Amino acid sequence: MALLNRSDWYDIARDTNWTPKYVTEEELFPKEMSDCFDVPREKWETYDEPYKTSYREYVKVQREKDAGAYSVKAALGRMKFLDSADPGWKSILKLHYGGIALQEYAAGMAEATMARFGRAPGMRNMATFGLLDETRHGQIQLYFPHEYVSKDRQFDWAHKAMHSNDWAAIATRHAFADIMSGRDATSVALMLTFAFETAFTNMQFLGLAADAAEVGDVTFSNLISSIQTDEARHAQIGTPALKILIENGHKEKAQKLVDIAFWRNWRLFAVVTGPSMDYYTPLAKREKSFKEFMVEWIVGQFERNILDIGLDVPWYWDTFLEDLNTTHHGMHLGVWYWRPTVWWDPAAGASPDERDWLEEKYPGWNDTYGKCWDVIIDNIKNGREDLTLPETLPIVCNMNHLPIVGVPGKKWDVRDHYLDYKGRRYHFGSKVDRWVFEQDPDRYAGHQGLIDRFLAGKIQPANLEGALKYMGLQPEDCGKDAHDYAWVWNYNKPDKVAV
């Protein structure tokens, strides 16, 4: 029997709205779980998802994707790429897997929220596939690093990181709980799929796959490409939802949720992708600076997307564009200095040739961040590694839970954007982080950041050793300089040579 074309039956088949008899509509779709905007049901029925697929088609394509990624892994497994990979690239892998793999499962739960509580049949249908996508992403990104665990126990943090109290895990969990697990289905569509996946991950995964290919990591490149194609599909859940919200007079509230999510994701990007691109990737393999990548792929695309749909660029856009010059350099310096507190080995990326590159891409780098690195380099050359390791904790932001950093050196500009609320002082890394808090203070006020926990006596002994223990880091897990300071000795050579 001939099959009907999908277009002949799709709209009827996926229209799973019905009139409930045994419960009320409100009980079936509680506002807190479904739609904080309270758009009427009939309005949601105009939701038209741009990407349509059937379950049969989905399974066929996904099976082929998995077969491709796993067979490449199996075929290249014997090439021992990891043994010869630059330590900086290995750190990118460890950081990626630890920060991402389990959050994919959390994203699956967010997709499940939309699949069950989404008000539009089309949203529920797409999110069902999104749930399957994210489950796959979690599994595949745990399976791939698992084979490296026997060679390097830091890879075990692919599974461990999100179960720990490591500061990077706290920061990641807090951000994703805010845009995924702690929101209703409609807000998830805006904050996760539109503001995070459309703006950031879809593009970032394209860039990451290209970088992996450039350094010769074919397995990882295939894996990331395979994931990106899923992201490109389910990231489209948010756009038709935004269209309905704007048409029904909810532009202002929708704009606020998008603005919050974009900023929260940007700050995570600044500590993960920024250092990876500008410091960890071997100099010879760098295609673009982080800023160039952001301007071309993230800023341009997001501006077009957001204006096309009828929203405005976020109110803090100028601040964000200025941030592209600075924040990730401070985050990198912080991660490198507090390297025992992370599960990867940060590459300093501050050899003479790398500094020339940084100065070219970020004019003024030597007079600012370079001043701090000058002191660090002198200490290593003089045998004072102890002075390149921390004896206290950085203050972390009560919104993004990352160190509060700014510009050092000749243009010293570091600020605490604090706020006193109900008898407690909250510290923020920027005015935008403080603004996010102010939008719904009681949503965030109860959370204790790492410093709050330290001061509350939850970290014992109350020193760095106790902090490492609290974060779940064994001595063998703790990050070290990725190149064992080899980059420093290039400063002694008459002709500068990159490590």
Partner 1 sequence: MTTVPLCVNFESDFVLQLVPVESDFTMDQVAEAAAHHSLNRRVKPQPGRTLRVRLQDGDAPFDRDATVEQSGFQVMETIEVYYE
Contact region with partner 1 (CB under 8 A), list: 74-82, 88-96, 408-416, 472-480: 408-416
**Is residue 321 exposed (0-12), middle (13-18) or buried (19+ Cβ within 10 Å)?**
middle
Q: Does the protein bind partner 1 through residue 356 (CB under 8 A)?
A: no
Q: Does the protein bind partner 1 through residue 464 (CB under 8 A)?
A: no
For the chain, how far is it from start to end, CA to CA, in angstroms?
65
Which three-class secondary structure state does DSSP give residue 312? coil
Q: Does the protein bind partner 1 through residue 337 (CB under 8 A)?
A: yes
Distance of CA 483 to the CA centre of its chain: 25
Q: Does the protein bind partner 1 through residue 182 (CB under 8 A)?
A: no
Q: Does the protein bind partner 1 through residue 391 (CB under 8 A)?
A: yes
Cis peptide preceding 461, ω within 30 of 0: yes
Q: Does the protein bind partner 1 through residue 445 (CB under 8 A)?
A: no
Least separation in angstroms between CB 471 and partner 1 = 15
Least separation in angstroms between CB 461 and partner 1 = 13
Least separation in angstroms between CB 326 and partner 1 = 10
CA 172 – CA 162 distance, rounded (Å): 8
Which tokens go with 379?
């200490």
Closest CB to partner 1 among residues 188, 404? 404
Buried b (16+ CB within 10 A) or exposed e, 12-45: eebeeeeeeeeeeeeeebeeeebbbbebeeeebe
Contact region with partner 1 (CB under 8 A), list: 182-190, 211-219, 228-236, 407-415: 407-415
Closest CB to partner 1 among residues 190, 271? 271
Helix axes 251-275, 431-439, angle to 10 degrees: 140
> For residues 398 and 428, is the Cβ–Cβ distance under 8 A?
yes
Phi then psi for 436, rounded to 5 degrees?
Answer: -60, -45
> For residues 401 and 450, is the Cβ–Cβ distance under 8 A?
yes
CA 48 – CA 467 distance, rounded (Å): 50
Least separation in angstroms between CB 333 and partner 1 = 6
Q: Does the protein bind partner 1 through residue 416 (CB under 8 A)?
A: yes
Q: Does the protein bind partner 1 through residue 421 (CB under 8 A)?
A: no
Residue of 284, 414, 445, 497 that binds partner 1 (CB under 8 A):
414
Q: Please compute, for residue 1, the number of CA atoms within 13 A of its CA located in the half-sphere on the CB side.
A: 2
Q: Does the protein bind partner 1 through residue 427 (CB under 8 A)?
A: yes
Q: Does the protein bind partner 1 through residue 333 (CB under 8 A)?
A: yes
Least separation in angstroms between CB 420 and partner 1 = 9
Left if phi > 0, otherwise alpha if psi is -120 to 50, otherwise beta: which for 345? Answer: beta
Which three-class secondary structure state does DSSP give residue 338? coil
Closest CB to partner 1 among residues 75, 375? 375
Least separation in angstroms between CB 261 and partner 1 = 26
Q: Does the protein bind partner 1 through residue 418 (CB under 8 A)?
A: yes
Least separation in angstroms between CB 412 and partner 1 = 5
Closest CB to partner 1 among residues 131, 268? 268
Site for partner 1 in 362-381 (CB under 8 A): 369, 371-372, 374-376, 379
Q: Which residues bind partner 1 (CB under 8 A)?
A: 330, 333-334, 337, 369, 371-372, 374-376, 379, 387-388, 390-395, 403-410, 412, 414-416, 418, 425, 427, 451, 454-455
